[in-house]
Amino acid sequence: MTTTDPIERVFALQRASRTARKSTDSVARIAQLKALRDAITSRIDTIEMALHSDLRRAPNGGKEGEIPAVLGEIDIAIGQLEHWMAPQAVPTSPHFQGSQTFIQYEPRGVVLLLGAWNFPFALALSPLVPIIAAGNSAIIKPNELSPETAKVVADIISAAFDPQDVAVFEGGIELAQRLQELPFDHVFFTGSPSVGKQVMAAAARHLSSVTLELGGKCPAIVAPGYDLVDAAGKVTGARFNNAGQLCLSVDHVWVPSAVVEPFCQIISAVIDKMFFVDAELQLDRLPRIVNARNFDRLLGYIDEAVALGARVVRGGQHDRETLTIHPTVLVDVPLNARIMQEEIFGPVLPVLAYDDLDQVTAQIDANGKPLALYVFAKEQAFVDQALLHTSSGGVTVNHVFMHYVEPNLPFGGVNGSGMGRYHGHAGFLELSNPRSVFVQADSVTS
């Protein structure tokens, strides 16, 4: 029976075309990726206008940020897809000499892709690249908190794809719940750990596989003797990028007790250079908080921390009308404050003092496994100890974000910060079923 519900109709259409899509070769899939690339590059100004409207993100001509990130993923897939798709020969054990054994990569099927609001363009379209490269179809729900970008994503998809391959539905929580009632073969979600649990529970009803890109309290650790200017500059950039609304942000930083004050002074100077002119905050340099609920949440964190004994050494000013919170630095923050228990996801940086690395690693372990760990140290022994006594999705040493930026490294979380990996070849593998094939010796003729 034909359904009139547009979601069910598109879902049925994509399920019905799974076999045909599975048989596509690299040439056909590359053509789809090129169509996606063309649809993006012809709309760069429109994409940037939407991001500015949703998040007050400053346009840069598509040279930095979300647009080149997606285009880079597309280019890597186009260049490597034929190699990725090739069956992988597996050595046959002595008992089965003469038989053929190999792994054949087949699509997972129909994928539900749930985008995030903080990078609403890239986190809707970057995962789409391996979805298409692996031969899947997709239904995308962009995040409703970035409505202008959602419209542009829908326009791009309608220009590049037939709905039987990729479709977009715009809406809020009710739409997300409605989509999760359908038996998708795979669900790809980027967002908070709390919502990730709901997504995983819904997928479990259909035994759908999942990729969850979540977050957590990503710490930075500065070793004794490390260059404070270098560490403070990189930490500041990582904390206040996108007003701290980034899953890879430095959530808090541990520094030796003796250098807390000079470290904070350097951070303050970097903040001045990044965001201020003649002591005036430049709103075009600092994205706004996404909505009033998150604005109030962040102010609540700051107020509670101060009530418990924390000190604001920089920032703290805020403007509800523009949803702006000045870059804020806290010291003497009690570990039982909510700001040290919950992911901050805003322009607030606790600077924590330590005298013993074991104290730091114990606290990191108590907060669960973060998406990223940042270690600033010149001694390999310090780095080794930090890695041995912590667990995280990824690590960057003496810089920030680099384990994400490097396309040959799989990106993802662990436990509370996510599951599954993507980027480059890892994304193709994540969105494929590695099908083991054994062919009995001399049993099949060509």
For range 27-44, the mean pLDDT: 98
For range 161-175, the mean pLDDT: 97
The share of the chain scoring above pLDDT 70, in percent, equals 99
SS3 at position 253: strand
For range 102-116, the mean pLDDT: 97
- Based on the residue annotation, tell me whether 247 is a catalytic residue of this protein: yes
* CB contact burial 162-189 (16+ within 10 A = b; e otherwise): ebbbbbbbeeeeeebeebbebebbbbbb
pLDDT at 140: 98
Tokens, residue 377: 């140290």
Per-residue pLDDT band for 446 (boundaries 50, 70, 90) equals low
- Based on the residue annotation, tell me whether 218 is a catalytic residue of this protein: no
Residue 1 pLDDT more than 60? no
Of the candidates 48, 66, 213, 343, the residue annotated as catalytic is 213
Residue 361 pLDDT more than 90? yes
The mean of the pLDDT values for the chain is 96
Q: Give pLDDT tens digits for 6-23.
A: 999 999 999 999 999 999
Per-residue pLDDT band for 64 (boundaries 50, 70, 90) equals confident
The share of the chain scoring above pLDDT 90, in percent, equals 94
SS3 at position 416: helix
CA 177 from centre of chain: 21
Q: Give pLDDT tens digits for 201-229.
A: 999 999 999 999 998 899 999 999 999 99
Residue 4 pLDDT more than 80? no
pLDDT at 443: 79
Residue 255 pLDDT more than 90? yes
Q: Considering the entire predicted model, what is its pTM? A: 0.94
Per-residue pLDDT band for 442 (boundaries 50, 70, 90) equals confident
Domains of the chain: 6-214+413-439 (3.40.605.10), 219-405 (3.40.309.10)
For range 354-362, the mean pLDDT: 96
Beta bridge partners of 137: 110
Q: Give pLDDT tens digits for 271-323.
A: 999 999 999 999 999 999 999 999 999 999 999 999 999 999 999 999 999 99
Residue 252 pLDDT more than 90? yes
Tokens, residue 337: 């404050």
For range 162-174, the mean pLDDT: 97
Q: Give pLDDT tens digits for 238-247.
A: 999 999 999 9
For range 92-110, the mean pLDDT: 94
Contact between 433 and 107 under an 8 Å Cβ cutoff? The reply is: yes
Task: Of 119, 136, 180, give the one whose Cα is nearest residue 33.
Answer: 136
Distance CA 325, CA 227 (A): 29
Of the candidates 48, 66, 73, 247, the residue annotated as catalytic is 247
CA distances from 242 to 248, 411, 435 (A): 11, 20, 41
